[in-house]
Structure 1
Amino acid sequence: MSDRPIDSAIWSARDIRATTRRLATAHEAALSGEPPPDPPLDAPRAVIGESWRRVLISGVDPDRDQPQHLLSVAELEHRRQKSQLTAVLPVLNEGLLAAADAAQQIMVVTDAEGRVLWREGSAPVRRMADRLGFDKGADWTEEVVGTNAIGTALVARRPVLVHSAEHFVRSHHQWTCAAAPLHDPRDGRLLGTVDVSGPAHTFHPTTLSLVSAVARLAEGELRTRHHASLERLRSSAAPVLARIGGRALAVDPSGWTVGVTGMTPPERVALPKAPAAGPLWLPRYGMCTLEPLPGGWLIRVGRPERDVGPGRVVLDVSGRDGSTVTVSGPAGSWSHELTPRHAELLFVLAAHPQGRTAAELAQDLFGDGSRTVTVRAELSRLRRHLAGVLAHRPYRFADGVEVELRLPPRPALLLPQSSAPAVAAARRG
């Protein structure tokens, strides 16, 4: 079994019971430290054997489930909001959920740390999963629950099927699970996994292929969205680059180039993990200056100018039909249309230059200081466009930024569609 692929020759319905017995024999031999009685037939597959060795070293008890420490509701919602996998849930649901439900299985999506973010599918199987602690917010890494498709796929960085006694913990031997990792197409970073799990008797040999194919579709959707964001940034950056003398590049937050002037365009620029407006040394270009663009950065190659910040921000909430923010800097200016929620957020920050905590903003916007998860998620989205303009801890406009707030002629006309308490108070004067 150790070097054979997972295919119908091993996992067909005809010999599934015999396969399960062989897996149980291999499992017991691994725990006792003795070789299997009939090698190589009873030896575990390489990916499983390697996982068992890691789990043995980590001290997981095969006879006892470790108690799960589920994420709090607020932390679970925060992770969902910031996860890029939120955008591809429709793809995963369409590709897997109906099949999983019909086959008495569940579909699970985790983050890169193995935390279960979403779980859908057969209600009876969800109840069975509850008894194992396999619930939303659970930690499904190898270090906590032993060999399993999710945790092992996170380590192996490839699709993995774990059937019956291939699970390290005996209470999981009645299950089969197939998981595939999901990666960010921009930088290859691991985002999490998608998994289909259910009772071992519901297993079908094509499950892993289906999960792998749907994972590739989801990554394709992320790639399409990335290309669309690059096109939007390219449109915004073109007039800015046209006004610049010297060498400059426009890049997205991951460093992918969308435009240049005065130089040969590189495919990608290596940016620091958390870039900020101002002077920056880049390995390929030496000293540069970063300025914010809507959805990316302008990199001016050469010695930094004295005025390197975003300079001036005009927040225009005077119109009935929408609000805009205009940012002016050394390279010129650009404008960004705001969603109603983002207009509310920026209005509150402009009205409180000293800054606001997440709880204070939640009270300002919703009248409920506990809704900090929603506030942080919205600010995270807003900072994708205004990375060099907004600061945090507390949330505020960055130091040195001159802010002009353009209001309607009468307070009663301020953001007329808004029900935020802070806006309502400003209308009353």
Structure 2
Amino acid sequence: MRNATVDMTRLAAMDSREAALLLKDVRDATLRGGKAPLAPRADIRESWQRMLREGVDPDRDRRSGLLSPGELERRRGASPLAELMPVLREGLMPSPGAAADPVRHIMVVADAEGRVLWREGHPSVLRMADGHGFEPGADWRESTVGTNGVGTALVTRRPVQVHSAEHFVATHHPWTCAGAPITDPRDGRLIGVVDVSGPVTTMHPATLLLVSSVARLAEAELRTRHLTELARLRAVAAPLLCRVGGRAVAVDAHGWTAAVTGVAPVDRLALPRSFGAGRVWLPTLGLCVVEPLPGGWLLRLVDDEPQAGVVTRVVLDVSRPRDWTVRVSGPVGDWTRELSPRHAELLYVLAVRRDGRTAAQLAGDVFGDRTRTVTVRAEMSRMRRTLGGVLAHRPYRFRDEVEVEVTGPADPRDLLPHSTAPAVVSARGGGAPG
């Protein structure tokens, strides 16, 4: 019979020393392949497996060089996280001027590469963090320092709590931490992680919920600011479009539509990575002439364009742990789009199952629940707005005339590490989706 799994609520009710010893027994037994008193939680077990494959030493503290002061300030200034710091502080730090500060933790904000950009909180915990190299400019990727609330959240793209000996590296066992990824709602790009860390005695199972909620508040703040920017662009573009003959669309830098004339409105157009003024082909619109606008672009559709040739090649690149793309190549040129975690999963399944999948089959492949067809149809509808030239439906599939190539990681076990989709989990083990 399989062991019961570590439960954070039960750990919190235990004496902190007793809980730490229990987790140490679990870690030591698991790493040497013995029988553990409890099974590690799924996110922790998968992280430990990645660390073993990557050769991280579980008994030795490894550190990389800090960013230079100049590079640290450059990253802070360029990061969207900078404008979210007031929201993060308000949600996670004690109110300034409080008579006493009973909260013995620190808040850490890192970028998408795991570099610590900001760190503040209780003075004694800051000193403790200094001793572990947990300081501004430090590299806190999972592959550098092992399982932790910053690096593991970046890999899985899910909130994660790591307590005591759940940290892969033994020198981090005095810590408890909870981290949540922050995604830019404008383009779905992972921009960093917010983490709360402290001594093991400060562990509480509700900390993860708090950090996750504050991360969602930060994303909502970005969304609100984006809507304001779109409204400004619309005010500029609407009068201009009234004077434009033919068909045209005004979009912001991320492809979100501000105004249209002569074409059916869509929420967003997928723009290639390299985008600027001139002539460009887009799968949803065809050939366009692009002109700059304050805060965006004007796309004039070329009505006398000859019929574009059939797209012949698609390359789905899922080789990296956090950056997935689809590249479409054909007679009219090349076009690359970054993928969200869910769209990467769906396209992967369709790429390896060229015979196609029904909505119910895709729901089973991705969610493990064949009844979630409404969600699948909604996601596929979003993808077909930008990949309609290569995707068909009834069943969902890549068109027969399209050549599809999948570029995966060197080790199949590292395929889409964020994913819990049954088809992906099966592929990591060497199987194929059923």
Same fold by TM-score greater than 0.5: yes
Q: Deviations over 1:294-314 (max 9, x none)?
A: 111100011699xxxxxxxxx
**Which residue in the other structure is 2:146 paired with?**
146
What TM-score, normalized to structure 2? 0.66
Q: Could you say which structure has the larger radius of gyration?
A: 1
Q: Deviations over 1:158-200 (max 9, x none)?
A: 1100000000111100000000000011121111000000110
Structure 1 segments unaligned to the other structure (5+ residues): 306-429
1:242 aligns with 2:279: no
Show the 5 A alignment for 1:389-400.
Answer: none
Structure 1 residue 14: deviation in Å? 3.5
**Which residue in the other structure is 1:209 paired with?**
209
Q: Deviations over 1:279-338 (max 9, x none)?
A: 101111111011011111100011699xxxxxxxxxxxxxxxxxxxxxxxxxxxxxxxxx
1:28 aligns with 2:28: yes
**Which residue in the other structure is 1:129 paired with?**
129
RMSD (CA atoms): 2.0
**Aligned to 1:83, which of 76, 79, 82?**
79
CA contact (8 A) 2:277 2:291 kept: yes
**Aligned to 2:48, which of 34, 42, 52?**
52
**Aligned to 1:71, which of 50, 67, 72?**
67
What TM-score, normalized to structure 1? 0.67
Structure 1 residue 11: deviation in Å? 3.1
For residues 2 and 291 of structure 1, do their structure 2 counterparts lie closer, same or farther at Cα, with a shift above 3 Å needed?
A: farther
Show the 5 A alignment for 1:4-403.
Answer: 7-8=8-9, 10-36=10-36, 38=37, 42-98=38-94, 102-302=102-302
CA contact (8 A) 2:289 2:299 kept: yes
What is the number of residues matched between the two proteins?
A: 300
Identity %: 58
Structure 2 segments unaligned to the other structure (5+ residues): 306-434
Distance in 2, matches of 1:302 and 1:250, equals 15
Report the 3-state secondary structure (helix = DSSP H, G, I; strand = E; otherwise coil) of the residue aligned with 1:98: coil
2:167 alignment partner AA: H
Distance in 2, matches of 1:143 and 1:113, equals 11
Structure 1 residue 15: deviation in Å? 4.8
1:282 alignment partner AA: L
Distance in 2, matches of 1:48 and 1:117, equals 25
1:61 alignment partner AA: D
Structure 1 residue 35: deviation in Å? 2.9
Structure 1 residue 31: deviation in Å? 2.5
For residues 3 and 238 of structure 1, do their structure 2 counterparts lie closer, same or farther at Cα, with a shift above 3 Å needed?
A: farther
CA contact (8 A) 1:288 1:304 kept: no
Q: Deviations over 1:236-295 (max 9, x none)?
A: 111111110000000011101010011111111111113110110111111101101111
Structure 1 residue 7: deviation in Å? 4.8
